[in-house]
């Protein structure tokens, strides 16, 4: 049985460690306090900071965060800022298609008359605005329940959407089925739309598409054909989610009733008439002026041009041409009856026969050069 003995210096080591612990802890607390009191003066870079410089930690509030991210409710869709504006900077703005707004202004006038005849009521249609969205983002933002009509532009071979919101659906049903005016509109949520409601909305969509075809007629004749009616946005994927689309928002008021109707046209659908939509006014693309056309034709008829009569041509190496001297004879592979080619600025125009008239060499035009080229090809 042995008893372990402590080294003589063990007690001194333990006492030293015990004494060091509070000293190290106090140093850490002092260092942490220095960092808390650290303040950065204005116009000071991070590299130039030292622990002795003071800094004040500033936390952004919710309004500043929303403004930075571009989700500020005050900002409209036309005045986006922050990261949201950077993300959507690749979208094409509808303002680059000026004629599109003219077309839908015409649609408002035509649709107002058609809906008055359709509902036998006082109907007012107004344009709330044209905006550009990503197609996927817009589908996710549609307030449900709603009806989504898919239509096809026959001549453009592409599709579009018409979205009818719930208030407009119940307003149309109420008006067409003889609901009383001045009464609060009754809305039944949480149930699918009935067959009667779908049929009445389809009749209205047929009317809207016919009027939209009439609105596009002066620009480019097109037929919008109704395809189907859906209630789930997932079944109306007519374009890729990242594709840009123009959304036209219409407000339809029938005295104390009404709602919104939105038309979605992907830019791929408008591509066939993009050149027409870029013009600032109707007919700008043609730019025709009959007065200037007639004046230009008359001036061209009296314009003087230089003509060259080419009797024959052949290729020679430059070494032989450099040997030519005064008196050198050049043999041509032609006869007095060979055809002569008339050119203007190296462009062949006519073919004729060489002769003599009033002691001058003349050429009688037989045919156009194009006709002779066609004969040689045949």
CATH code for position 321? 2.30.330.10
* 179 DSSP 8-state letter: P
Q: Say if residue 114 is in the same domain as residue 225.
A: yes
Q: Is residue 27 part of a domain?
A: no
Q: Is residue 320 part of a domain?
A: yes
Q: Say if residue 148 is in the same domain as residue 74.
A: no
Domain count, the chain: 3
> What does DSSP say about strands 340-344 and 308-310: parallel, antiparallel, or unpaired?
antiparallel
Q: Is residue 62 part of a domain?
A: yes
User: What's residue 208's pLDDT?
Assistant: 92
Q: Which of 28, 47, 50 is nearest to 38 (CA)?
A: 50
C-beta separation of 130 from 100 below 8 A = yes
Q: Which residue has the tokens 């592979």?
A: 333
Paired strand residues for 375: none
In whole angstroms, what separates CA 220 from the centre of its chain?
Answer: 19
Q: Is residue 116 part of a domain?
A: yes
Ranges under pLDDT 50 in the chain? 1-4, 6, 9, 11-21, 39-55, 74-78, 284-287
CA gap 70, 55 in Å, rounded = 29
Q: Say if residue 189 is in the same domain as residue 218.
A: yes
Q: Say if residue 368 is in the same domain as residue 250.
A: no
Q: Is residue 299 part of a domain?
A: no
Q: Say if residue 58 is in the same domain as residue 99.
A: no
User: Tokens standing for 141?
Assistant: 């933002």
CA gap 107, 105 in Å, rounded = 5
Paired strand residues for 259: 252
Q: Is residue 284 part of a domain?
A: no
Q: Say if residue 69 is in the same domain as residue 132.
A: no
User: What's residue 74's pLDDT?
Assistant: 43
First-residue to last-residue Cα distance in the chain: 128
pLDDT tens for residues 183-216?
A: 555 555 667 888 888 999 999 999 999 999 999 9
> What does DSSP say about strands 360-368 and 347-357: parallel, antiparallel, or unpaired?
antiparallel
Q: Quick check: helix, strand or coil at residue 93?
A: coil
Q: Domain containing 108 — which CATH number?
A: 3.40.1550.10
User: What's residue 188's pLDDT?
Assistant: 57
How many Cα atoms are found within 13 Å in the side-chain-facing hemisphere of 159? 15
CA gap 128, 168 in Å, rounded = 15
CA gap 302, 298 in Å, rounded = 7
User: What's residue 40's pLDDT?
Assistant: 47
Using alpha carbons only, give the angle 146, 149, 152 rounded to the nearest 5 degrees.
160
58: left (phi over 0), alpha (psi -120 to 50) or beta: beta
Residue 175: what are its φ and ψ, rounded to 5°? -70, -45
Q: Say if residue 195 is in the same domain as residue 330.
A: no
Q: Which residues contact 144 (CB under 8 A, 6 or more apart)?
A: 231, 233
Q: Which domain holds residue 68?
A: 33-90
User: Tokens standing for 296?
Assistant: 């230009």
Q: Say if residue 313 is in the same domain as residue 210.
A: no
């Amino acid at each position: 049985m042995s008893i372990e003995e402590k080294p003589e210096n063990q007690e001194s080591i333990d006492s030293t460690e015990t004494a060091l612990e509070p000293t190290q802890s106090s140093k850490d607390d002092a260092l942490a306090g220095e960092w808390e009191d650290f303040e950065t003066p204005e116009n000071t870079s991070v590299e130039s900071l030292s622990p002795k410089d003071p800094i004040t930690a500033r936390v952004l509030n919710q309004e500043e965060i929303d403004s930075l991210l571009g989700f500020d409710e005050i900002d409209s869709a036309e005045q986006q800022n922050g990261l949201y504006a950077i993300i959507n900077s690749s979208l094409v703005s509808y303002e680059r298609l000026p004629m599109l707004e003219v077309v839908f202004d015409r649609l408002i006038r035509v649709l107002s008359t058609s809906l008055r005849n359709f509902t036998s009521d006082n109907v007012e249609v107004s344009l709330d605005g044209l905006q550009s969205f990503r197609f996927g983002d817009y589908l996710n933002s549609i307030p449900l329940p709603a009806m989504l009509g898919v239509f096809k532009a026959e001549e453009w071979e592409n599709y579009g959407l018409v979205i009818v919101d719930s208030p407009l659906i119940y307003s149309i049903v109420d008006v067409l089925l003889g609901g009383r005016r001045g009464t609060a509109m009754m809305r039944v949520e949480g149930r699918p739309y009935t067959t009667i409601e779908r049929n009445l909305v389809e009749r209205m969509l047929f009317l809207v598409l016919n009027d939209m075809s009439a609105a596009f007629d002066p620009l480019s004749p097109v037929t919008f054909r109704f395809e189907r009616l859906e209630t789930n946005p997932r079944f109306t994927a007519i374009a890729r989610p990242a594709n840009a689309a123009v959304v036209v928002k219409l407000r339809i008021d029938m005295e104390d009733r009404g709602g919104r109707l939105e038309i979605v046209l992907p830019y791929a659908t408008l591509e066939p008439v993009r050149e027409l939509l870029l013009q600032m006014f109707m007919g700008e693309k043609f730019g025709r002026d009959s007065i200037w056309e007639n004046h230009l034709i008359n001036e061209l008829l009296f314009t003087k041009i230089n003509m060259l009569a080419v009797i024959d041509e052949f290729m020679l190496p430059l070494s032989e041409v450099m040997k030519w001297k005064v008196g050198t004879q050049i043999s041509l592979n032609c006869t007095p009856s060979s055809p002569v080619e008339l050119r203007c600025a190296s462009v062949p125009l006519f073919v004729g026969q060489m002769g003599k008239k009033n002691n001058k060499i003349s050429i009688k035009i037989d045919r156009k050069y194009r006709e002779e080229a066609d004969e040689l090809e045949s």
